[in-house]
Structure 1
Amino acid sequence: MGIPHFLLIPYPVLGHVNPLIHLSQILAKNGCNITFLNTEFSHKRLTTTGSGLDNLKGSGIKFVTLPDGLDPEDDRSDQKKVVLSIKTNMPSMLPKLIQDVNALDVNNNITCMVVTLSMTWALKVGYNLGIKGALLWPASATALALCNCIPRLIHDGVIDSYGVPIRRQEIELYPSMPTMDTENFPWRGNDKLHFDHLVQEMQTMKLGEWWLCNTTYDLEPAVFSISPRLLPIGPLTASDNNKSSFWKEDTTCLEWLDQQLPQSVVYISFGSMAVMDPNQFNELALGLDLLDKPFIWVVRSSNDNKEKVNAYPHEFHGSRGRIVGWAPQKKILNHPALACFISHCGWNSTVEGVCSGIPFLCWPFAKDQLVNKSYICQVWKIGVGLDKDKDGLILKEEIRKKVEQLLEDEDIKARSLKMKELTMNNIDKGGQSSKNLEKFINWAK
């Protein structure tokens, strides 16, 4: 049994790069060889922010790059454009890259590939070269189960061939899984091209012998019966020093946090991709003023086109809080001064919040975030949702009311801490996720 040499290929967004970087570190610690492939554009962004890539020197992870096929000035926040360009340009370049990596050390050729969603074309390339493959799914295992059921949902007349529900209803996908509202399917709001891409990904994914998920049996107990390939290896919570970022983190808020009372600070972050409507942005700003509690609010400076996204309303003074462009999220979530997390419920943020034992105020935007919210509020019962008014806005009074309700709810706090303990036990020695990782590494050997 030789030492496995992994080639890891994330789709170039933070929600895919970070869990894969963390997996690389675990594999490297276990004596595996690691080559990590970023797109040139993504790699340049990751190395100019002074982010986690520098801290990986000496970890045994080698970085390589390929062009994504777009021009430097192309808008890479247009995911459709990026996906299409990558799928058109990178597959023909990958075999040569593998050859070059292998030539550097002939006794240590690439033996296994791990890719994230939208990069499954690489599994095909690997398959043709006799390289084993696995997928790291970046969302919840429940989202994977839903996407995996698309053909069945079409056949049963639940959705049409565009992914649109035939009628609104609650369905139970598998026995003892929470019921799903058909309005909340992860692909809702996507156009036909995007939906077809997802359907194709779910097919190509089957070339991966394992579907690794950043989750645990306790978080989503009913899902794992859907396929023996599903392997929970979470929580993949990298320390913040090893998280990569496209923006420079503002760490000054940590000193400010040290001066706040225990369980007093509200943390607001909607991840690396969500964009908020200006009217909604105003309501949130004014809601934070109304709340009159210390807060840390992450407002990304601009979108990738460098347009100024949102202006603060005139009457906003925000004197109780700190507004930062990007934040060391894990350190904030684990700080004793933190009271709750207003989150878009992206899966990585959901797992980080659970691992910190912090109650959630759920503010999902799209994709799998609505499904994650139903777990947070209905299954684990560690958070509450926000209600919109007739125009679809979450008003400032609603924000204040729900935060106050959440901070007074001792049951939610107790359950949050219990959930943290259950989840973290998985990565202890002898924990279920640790055993699964061992199984995966032995398979790669």
Structure 2
Amino acid sequence: MAKPHRSSTTVSSIPLLLLSSALDDSINLVSVSDGLESGERHIPGKLMEALRRVMPLKIEELIREIGGCSPSSAADKVSCIVYDQSLGRIQQVAERMGIGSVAFVPAAAALLVLGFNIPKLIQDGIIDNQGSPLTDKTVQFAPTMPIMSPSDFVWHRLKIASLQKLLFHIMTENNGPTKSADWLICNSVLDLEPGAFTMAPQILPIGPLLAINNRPAHSAGGHFWQQEYECLEWLDRQPACSVIYVAFGSSVMLKKAQVEELALGLELTNRPFLWVVRPEAIDGADDWEGFLERVEGGGRIIGWAPQQRVLDHPSTACFISHCGWNSTLESVSSGVPMLCWPYFADQFINQSYVCDIWKVGLRLEEDDNGMVASEEIKRKMDGLLGDGAFRERALRLKGKVRSSASEGGHSHENLTNFINWIKK
């Protein structure tokens, strides 16, 4: 990128140890102001609204600075904008400046199909015009798509009423710009979501977009936290298909009491485990080290893991996950069965894929107190690992997913066509 925004910071996107004569640092990361004071970002909905309202203006300013003062000169320097589909107003910036637009869906295609069907859901009396459920009747748009309760729709799972309405409005608003983009690409695979891609054929799957695993372990870039690669050596010492991997992503917060139940549940399974625990993600756990130390003899507890390498490891038996789409894709790509523990947003859609459609995992159910009890964890773990059909289905799905990303595969061809379009 030639000229960063005057109030922005430009940093390298590639660690120095990866640079070589064959790979120059041709991609830079440029920060763009969201217009908020630091304290405002903690107010629910403030950042979401700022990204929607401020980001398009800042992106347009940045493009003009890169190319010059006028839209025509900017178009000579910038060929297209690839943007997160949730920022639909960016497409309007591209259209106004005569630049190509590429909407990227980092989530499942089913989430976008849900957004496209909002008018029909209102017409059928499933939700009102603010997105609130009018019935508890489940919805399935196609036989191979998730089975969703209206209470599990992505906006409703935000739980705060103002955020529900804001996200519902954003999803509705984005339908038009998304359909108008030159390309609509998705980090998914045709064999994972055939129903969704049939309903919305304009969405092109190019996934799974995974890191290259043939690089040295410590050379991978693009991570927010320092990964603890020593856990791979620990995995090397464990029996095949024996280790329970536990991780809840980068944003989930757990109550201290729930963490204690999880620790007890892992202890009850009497299996080795690798548990990713970020102390700042445990609410009210000032003394959490005490009960973690009690179970640590049966496993390994770390702050952050090289997740894809862990899931690919032959010692890994299953994955207790929050069902974020990246984690779900990585697990499926490695042929690892899952215990599903979703918390918000699209994670419940992904859970339905895992449990209802692909049948490579089981749900962890909450009790009357809203807790996933240790006995529930033990029971579902025994059910998952005691039935070889889960791993068989997971391995079959792994083959399809990896084949799609290989040369000649559906995702590979879509990605190649997209790259060729970029080059032109």
Match among 141, 147, 154 for residue 122 of structure 2: 154
Residue equivalent to 1:312: 288
The answer on whether the counterparts of 1:35 and 1:62 sit within 8 Å (CA) in structure 2 is no
Number of positions where the alignment pairs a residue of Structure 1 with one of Structure 2? 403
1:389 partner amino acid: D
Higher relative contact order (CA 8 A, sep 6+): 1
Residue aligning to 1:295? 273
Q: What does residue 408 of structure 1 align with?
A: 386
- Check if 1:114 corresponds to 2:87: no
What is the root-mean-square deviation in Å for CA atoms of aligned residues?
3.0
- C-alpha change, 1:292 and 1:205, in structure 2 (3 Å) is same
- The answer as to 2:52 corresponding to 1:87 is yes
Sort the Cα spacing of 1:100 and 1:443 in 2 relative to 1 into closer, same or farther, 3 A: same
Alignment partner for residue 319 of structure 2, among 321, 341, 362?
A: 341
**Higher mean displacement: 57-66 or 121-130:** 57-66
Residue number among 330, 348, 351 corresponding to 2:329 in the alignment: 351
1:350 deviation in Å? Answer: 0.4
* Alignment partners' CA distance in 1, 2:171 and 2:83: 15
Match of 2:161 in 1: none
Give the match for residue 326 of structure 1.
304
Partners of 2:227 and 2:44 in 1: how far apart? 24
Match of 2:92 in 1: 124
User: 1:96 is aligned with what amino acid?
Assistant: E
**What's 1:100 paired with?**
65
Q: Say which of 54, 62, 86 aligns to 2:28.
A: 62
- Shift, 1:345, TM fit: 0.8
Other-structure match for 2:352: 374
CA contact (8 A) 1:91 1:125 kept: yes
2:208 corresponds, among 212, 216, 235, to: 235
What SS class does the counterpart of residue 100 from structure 1 fall into? helix
Alpha-carbon separation, structure 2, partners of 1:414 and 1:198: 37
Partner residue in 1 for 2:259? 281
Query: What secondary structure is seen at the aligned counterpart in 1 of 2:46?
Result: helix
- Match of 1:189, SS? helix
Structure 1 unaligned runs (5+)?
1-6, 8-33
- The change in CA–CA distance for 1:99 and 1:36 in structure 2 (over 3 A counts) is closer
Q: C-alpha separation between the residues in 2 aligned to 1:195 and 1:372?
A: 19
Q: 1:56 to 1:65 in 2, by over 3 A?
A: farther
Aligned to 1:172: 140
- Are 2:186 and 1:210 equivalent residues in the alignment? no
Distance in 2 separating the partners of 1:101 and 1:362: 45
Going from structure 1 to structure 2, the CA distance change for 1:409 and 1:217 (only over 3 Å counts) comes to: same
SS in 1 for 2:135: coil
Instruction: Give the superposition deviation at 1:308.
Output: 6.2
Percentage of matched positions with identical amino acids:
38
Q: Is the 8 A contact 1:127 1:207 kept in 2?
A: no
Distance 1:299 1:314, change over 3 A: closer
Q: Cα gap change, 1:269/1:75 in structure 2, threshold over 3 Å: closer, same or farther?
A: farther
**Cα pair distance change 1:53/1:77, threshold 3 Å:** farther
User: In structure 2, do the counterparts of structure 1 residues 107 and 142 end up closer, same or farther at CA, with 3 Å as the change threshold?
Assistant: closer
Aligned to 2:222: 244
Hey, what's the Cα distance between the residues in 2 that align with 1:35 and 1:227?
38
What amino acid does structure 2 have at the position aligned with 1:369?
Q
SS in 2 for 1:388: coil
Structure 2 spans left out of the alignment, 5+ residues: 159-163, 214-218
- The Cα of 1:242 is off from its aligned counterpart by 4.1
Quickly say closer, same or farther: Cα 1:55–1:66, change in 2 above 3 A: farther
Kindly provide the CA deviation profile for residues 132-185 of structure 1, in whole angstroms up to 9, marking residues without a partner as x.
111111110111101211121112211012212101012232465454322221
**How far does the alpha carbon of each residue in 1:370-407 deviate from its partner, in whole angstroms, 9 at most, with x for none?**
11111111211111111221222111011112112212
CA deviation map 1:57-113 (0-9, x unaligned): 525323323222233x4364656222222334333332332133336x999621111
Once residues 75 and 328 of structure 1 are traced to their aligned partners in structure 2, the CA distance between those partners, rounded to angstroms, is 32
- Cα displacement (A) at 1:188: 1.5
Look up the match of 2:105. Answer: 137
Deviation at 1:35?
10
Query: TM-score normalised to the size of structure 1?
Result: 0.82
- Of the three residues 149, 154, 157, the one matched with 1:189 is 157
> Which residue type is aligned with residue 97 of structure 1?
L
Instruction: Supply the AA of the counterpart residue of 1:109.
Output: K
Cα distance in 2 for partners of 1:199, 1:180 equals: 18
